[in-house]
Structure 1
Amino acid sequence: MAELILTGAAGRLEARYNQAESENAPIALILHNHPKAGGSMQDRVTVMLHKLFVERGFSTLRFNFRGVGRSQGNFDNGQGELSDAASALDWLQSQNPVAPVTWVAGYSFGSYIALQLLMRRPEIDGFITVATPANHYDLSFLAPCPSSGMMFYGSNDQVSPPADLERSASKIRTQKGETVEWEMIEGADHFYRNELDLLRDRAANYLDRRLAQPRKAAPAPRR
């Protein structure tokens, strides 16, 4: 794994990167939990998601949002962090110009940013989110959601209560041919203290199922 410093809108971004052996490997961007709650790219859920994609041959990048670790800048209530994610995805694509598949995954606050990002980047083919804080952020911007994905949540999550995620997810509308699923991890709290292995297994099953399906048609080039 390479330790990197990327360039973001607010300055440098500290990152970790695994380059796949295949020249035409798929790519994945992993986004961490809330910076003001101790979130960083070293969070155990974030690291688990990173490893999940690496094990399936993805060139995979995770990074610290602005103001975290060695990343410059200050927390920007989501707007600046979305810009950070876009810069990181730009870099990842520049290193893998023929990547046939692009995924994004996020945990807690990072899942909110991931969902924002996929609405702006039509090349994103799929997503996995964990503990999306639907009680703190309005997900109505997913109208319609342009990519298929999975939203995992814990039955004992007191930070992002399951009822809020279920209510928001049930209202999501998708583009033709896309499906957004949501799955509860029984017994899991917001931090997956005792259920991380179960989360990994469920996420792996979903990702493997998706990767076995035919790819959707490539989107029109961005202008």
Structure 2
Amino acid sequence: MPEVIFNGPDGRLEGRYHHGKSSNAPLALLLHPHPQHGGTMNNKVVFALYHAFVRRGFSTLRFNFRGVGRSQGKFDNGQGELSDAASALDWMQSFNPNAQACWVGGFSFGAWIAMQLLMRRPEIDGFVSVAPPANVFDFTFLAPCPSSGLIVHGTADDLVPEASVAKLAAKLAAQRSIRVGYRTIEGANHFFGAQLDELGSLVETYLAEACPLRPATSTAAQLAVAGIAE
């Protein structure tokens, strides 16, 4: 789980990166919850998502938005954070030119940013959105949603009512040419507490079906070019 530093639009950004073992490993970018409410890349839900993608063979990056941890800059109400996410995706793609697929995921505020990035980057093939704050932020920009994906929510979420997320999921699932799954975790609150393992297993099972891996060769040469130790 190497620490990485890469250039963002408002200074350097800090991340943690796992490089997939195959030369065409799919990419996954994971985004953390609200920076002004304690959200960081080390959030437990983000950590669970990160390891679910890693277990499925993805080259996976989680990073701190501007002003969080050692990332430079300051909070920008979502606009700057979206630019940070785009820069993070650029950084991953720069030394993964043969990636077989590209996914984005996020938790809470990070889910909102992830879905915006999905609309702006046509190369993104799928998404995992955990507890998207549909009662706080406007998701009407998903018209239409360009990619299939998964939405996960806890039935006991006291910050984002389950009904608001179910409505969003139903709206997206009704669109043609994509498939949007909606799964709930019984008894889970907004932070999933004791259900983190269940969340990770659910996401991993979904990925196994939605993004089966194609065999490829070792990535030792790519790692050397990227300057990242295996």
Q: In 2, Cα distance between the equivalents of 1:99 and 1:174?
A: 29
Deviation of 1:175 after TM superposition, in Å, equals 6.0
Q: In 2, Cα distance between the equivalents of 1:23 and 1:209?
A: 21
Deviation of 1:173 after TM superposition, in Å, equals 6.2
Q: In 2, Cα distance between the equivalents of 1:173 and 1:206?
A: 16
Distance 1:174 1:16, change over 3 A: farther
User: What one-letter code is carried by the residue in structure 1 that aligns with 2:14?
Assistant: E
SS at match of 2:172: coil
Higher relative contact order structure (alpha carbons within 8 Å, sequence separation ≥ 6): 2
Deviation of 1:25 after TM superposition, in Å, equals 1.1
User: 2:25 aligned with 1:22, yes or no?
Assistant: no
User: 2:164 aligned with 1:160, yes or no?
Assistant: no
Conserved? CA contact 2:173–2:181, under 8 Å: no
Matching of residues 1-223 of structure 1 within 5 Å? 1-172=1-172, 176-212=176-212
Instruction: Count how many residue pairs are aligned between Structure 1 and Structure 2.
Output: 214
Give the structure-2-normalised TM-score. Answer: 0.89
Q: In 2, Cα distance between the equivalents of 1:173 and 1:163?
A: 15
User: What one-letter code is carried by the residue in structure 2 that aligns with 1:21?
Assistant: K
Distance 1:131 1:37, change over 3 A: same
User: What one-letter code is carried by the residue in structure 1 that aligns with 2:55?
Assistant: E
Distance 1:16 1:174, change over 3 A: farther
Distance 1:158 1:59, change over 3 A: same
> Where in structure 2 are there 5+ consecutive unaligned residues?
215-230
Conserved? CA contact 1:154–1:186, under 8 Å: yes
SS at match of 1:195: helix
Deviation of 1:184 after TM superposition, in Å, equals 1.1
Mean Cα displacement is larger for which, 185-194 or 174-183? Answer: 174-183
Deviation of 1:106 after TM superposition, in Å, equals 0.5
Hey, which of these two has a bigger chunk of helix by percent? 2
> Where in structure 1 are there 5+ consecutive unaligned residues?
215-223
CA RMSD of aligned residues (A): 1.5
Give the structure-1-normalised TM-score. Answer: 0.92
Deviation of 1:209 after TM superposition, in Å, equals 1.1
Percent identity (aligned): 57
Distance 1:59 1:213, change over 3 A: closer
